[in-house]
Amino acid sequence: MKIHSKFRTLFLIRINLVYVIFDFICLSYFFDSFRTENYKITFGSLIFLALSLFFHINKMRSIYEITVTKKGIKRKTLTSKKVEFIPYSSVSKVQTERIQGSYSDAGQITTGYFESTVFLEDRTELLISPDHFENYQEIIIAIRENTLN
């Protein structure tokens, strides 16, 4: 039995959209600055573009795939493909929390959702959220079943 995580499309779009829009704006200022010969804007747009790329790469490094197997949990980062294996013996507990919904003056916007945190013996945590993964329920059920054995 292997369960591979499936990213939600909106999660990946939300992560990347802000950076792509900001990069597009920086590039448009960069190319426009050559037309106006304003090299301060050229330099500034290059710095903002470099900072945006740096933060985008750092954000992408924190995104990981999860594979639940019979022996443990494999966590693979999306960009570097670095694989970390977490045996079930190192899982101290799996805690599920309810995240409150959003409210406005008109009333409730969303009802909220549940997300789970896998606490490990080395005091690190692995967050598994339905906001990130389409098959959140399947992943959590498999982890709970294997940690109880």
| Alpha-carbon gap, residue 44 to 30, rounded angstroms | 8
The tens digit of pLDDT for each residue in 104-128 reads: 777 766 777 788 999 999 999 999 9
* Per CATH, domain 65-148 is 2.60.120: no
**Beta carbons within 8 Å of 79's beta carbon, 6+ residues apart:** 57, 60, 61, 63
- Any idea which of 31-40, 52-61, 71-80 has the lowest mean pLDDT? 31-40
pLDDT of residue 65: 92
Task: Select the more confidently predicted residue: 93 or 111.
Answer: 93
Residue ranges of the domains in the chain?
A: 9-60, 65-148
pLDDT of residue 149: 65
